[in-house]
Structure 1
Amino acid sequence: MSVRDFIKNSVLNADSYSQVDIGRIALSLITALILGILIYLVYRKFYAGVVYSKSFAVTLIGMCVLTCMVTLAISTNIVISLGMVGALSIVRFRTAVKDPLDLFYLFWSITGGITAGAGMYILTMVASIIVIIMLAIFYARPSRGHVYVAVIHYEGTENGDEIIRAFGKNKHFIKSRTMRGDTTEMAVEVYCRDKNLAFEERIRDIPKVKDITLIQYNGEYNG
């Protein structure tokens, strides 16, 4: 059968979707649901950001099931597939993804739904196992230290060098320095390999230092 004849038969037999096995539909949707729940649990386990979004985690489950449903629909008839492509092409998602790893989970959910809808259950299961192993090896390793942002307020400008020396051997970088009248605000990023924050006491004992605030930074640090 030529491509032309295949397209003609697909257009003429627009009711071919009724021939889809109900058992295959149920199995695909259940597989997508199980995979979505698995992605939800993995996301909650390995999340290391600042604010955990439960709505985004639940979206991963729905995305997997809905993608499976779309794949099942477009795999039955070329007319439905063309109409689905045209309908989905006008959809615009404007929600910003702040963490690049969140984008990874979204693609995992979408591709998992596609493979489940296509009946590739072994591929879905094996790929998910590989992804979980990858996350466990490369992302869930224990942190070797902590990164803080120290916000220090002090009077005058002559104590700045003494404050910098108080950090000792801890790696530190001056992020900003703001002067308001007689008061100077300095933000310093400091890396600590352990929970020893002795530099905080040394800075607080420096004359004319009003206060020091430590904010833990949960992002990536290279060094």
Structure 2
Amino acid sequence: MSVNDVIKKSVVNSFTQYNVPKMAVALLAALLLGVVIYAVYRRFYTGVVYSRSFAVTLVGMSVLTCMVTLAISTNIVISLGMVGALSIVRYRTAVKDPMDLLYLFWAITTGITTGAGMYLLAIVAGVVMIAMLAVFYSHQAKGRVYIAVIHYLGDNVGDEIVRAFGRTRFFVKSKTMRGEKVEMAVEVFCDDKDMTFAERLRAIQGVDDVTLIQYNGEYHG
């Protein structure tokens, strides 16, 4: 059988091999699992600004990837055309959080597995992912990292600020001096319930203001 015969047979069969119930089940499974990924992303998100558009994109990514997998599995003509079309697409959106890549690949692989009819694999992988995120999130939730920006006057006040932190773990990251005015940036590790150090800092005479900013970076040096 020549290549032309294979292509002609694939084109003819493409109109007769559609299994509508199977496709509907695959797309519905991809949609439901995409909603689960959306809920997990919303639950375990630890960034500063939550992006609802990105969360919705995860659902759409699952469904569209499932559709592509179903189309590719139909016949060779569509698969070659799909590969050619996707090869010229360039995505320029920057991923700011590495964890977003995890959710993107989760959504893509969910769409592929549901499109291939491997529903059990998609469900098991989802359970493993949720369990993994829950375990790591439980350890991370025990404490948070803040950047405390303190403006004060006088060198002696700086010593009082250091003593005011008490047993709270902290690191002085920077100190900017403009005449008598000083700006100190301190990285603070504490629980959400243990914020008493902020009140002690405000009570120090010479401290103008204290700003706490939640920090989610990986650098703890």
Alignment of 1:56-67 (within 5 A): 56-67=54-65
Residue 17 (structure 1) aligned to one of 14, 18, 21: 14
Report the Cα offset of residue 151 of structure 1.
1.1
Relative to structure 1, is the Cα distance of residues 15 and 180 closer, same or farther in structure 2, using a 3 angstrom cutoff? Answer: farther
Equivalent residue letter for 1:15: V
Identity of aligned residues (%): 63
Residue 79 (structure 1) aligned to one of 52, 68, 77: 77
> Any idea what SS the aligned residue of 2:182 has?
strand
What residue in structure 1 maps to residue 183 of structure 2?
Answer: 185
Number of residues paired by the alignment?
Answer: 219
> Any idea what SS the aligned residue of 2:155 has?
coil
What is the CA–CA distance in structure 2 between the aligned matches of 1:152 and 1:126, rounded to whole Å?
49
Residue 128 (structure 2) aligned to one of 105, 127, 130: 130
Unaligned runs of 5+ in 2: none
Unaligned runs of 5+ in 1: none
Residue 99 (structure 2) aligned to one of 98, 101, 109: 101
> What is the CA deviation profile of residues 187-213 of structure 1, one whole-angstrom value per residue up to 9, with x for unaligned ones?
111122463333334333434222222
Alignment of 1:209-220 (within 5 A): 209-219=207-217
**TM-score, normalisation: structure 1:** 0.86
| RMSD of equivalent CA atoms | 2.4
Residue 145 (structure 1) aligned to one of 143, 146, 162: 143
What is the CA–CA distance in structure 2 between the aligned matches of 1:194 and 1:75, rounded to whole Å?
51
CA contact (8 A) 1:10 1:79 kept: no
**TM-score, normalisation: structure 2:** 0.87
> What is the CA deviation profile of residues 156-189 of structure 1, one whole-angstrom value per residue up to 9, with x for unaligned ones?
3343233222212211111221122321111111
What is the CA–CA distance in structure 2 between the aligned matches of 1:198 and 1:47, rounded to whole Å?
26
Is residue 45 of structure 1 aligned with residue 43 of structure 2? Answer: yes
CA contact (8 A) 1:46 1:140 kept: no
> Any idea what SS the aligned residue of 1:88 has?
helix
What residue in structure 2 maps to residue 163 of structure 1?
Answer: 161
What is the CA–CA distance in structure 2 between the aligned matches of 1:144 and 1:125, rounded to whole Å?
29
Report the Cα offset of residue 58 of structure 1.
1.0
> What is the CA deviation profile of residues 99-157 of structure 1, one whole-angstrom value per residue up to 9, with x for unaligned ones?
22221111111001111111112212222222222222232457222322211111233
